[in-house]
Amino acid sequence: MSQPLIAVEKVSKSFGGVRANSAVSITVEEGKITGLIGPNGSGKTTLFNSIVGYHPIDSGSIKFEGREISKLLVPQIARLGLLRTFQQTRIYAEMDCVQNMLISVPHRNATLTDMFRAYPAELQDEAEHLLEFVGLYQKRHLISGDLSFGQQKLLEFAMALMNKPKVLLLDEPTAGINPTLINGLIDRLKRANQEFGITLFVIEHNMRVVMNLAENIYCLAHGELLAEGHPEEIQNDQRVIDAYLGAH
Ligand X SMILES: Nc1ncnc2c1ncn2[C@@H]1O[C@H](COP(=O)(O)OP(=O)(O)OP(=O)(O)O)[C@@H](O)[C@H]1O
| Residues in contact with ligand X by the rule CB under 6 A | 15, 18, 20, 38, 40-46
Min CB(20)–ligand X separation in Å = 3
Which of 133/218 has CB closer to ligand X? 218
- DSSP letter assigned to residue 170: E
- E-strand spans in 126-198? 167-171
H-helix or E-strand containing 114?
A: helix 112-116
One-letter identity of residue 158:
A
User: Which of 108, 4, 8 shows the shortest CA–CA distance to 65?
Assistant: 4
Which of 20/192 has CB closer to ligand X? 20
Which of 49/104 has CB closer to ligand X? 49
H-helix or E-strand containing 34?
A: strand 33-37
201: CB partners within 8 A, 6+ apart: 6, 28, 33, 34, 36, 48, 51, 167, 168, 169, 170
Which of 43/150 has CB closer to ligand X? 43
Min CB(19)–ligand X separation in Å = 8
Which of 46/104 has CB closer to ligand X? 46
Min CB(183)–ligand X separation in Å = 23
Min CB(218)–ligand X separation in Å = 12
User: Which of 70, 84, 245 shows the shortest CA–CA distance to 167?
Assistant: 84
Q: Using alpha carbons only, what angle is made at residue 39 by residues 33 and 41, rounded to the nearest 5 degrees?
A: 105
Min CB(47)–ligand X separation in Å = 7
Min CB(25)–ligand X separation in Å = 16
Which of 98/240 has CB closer to ligand X? 240
Cα of 23 vs its chain's centroid, Å: 22
Residue 127 and residue 162 in contact, taking contact as beta carbons nearer than 8 Å: yes
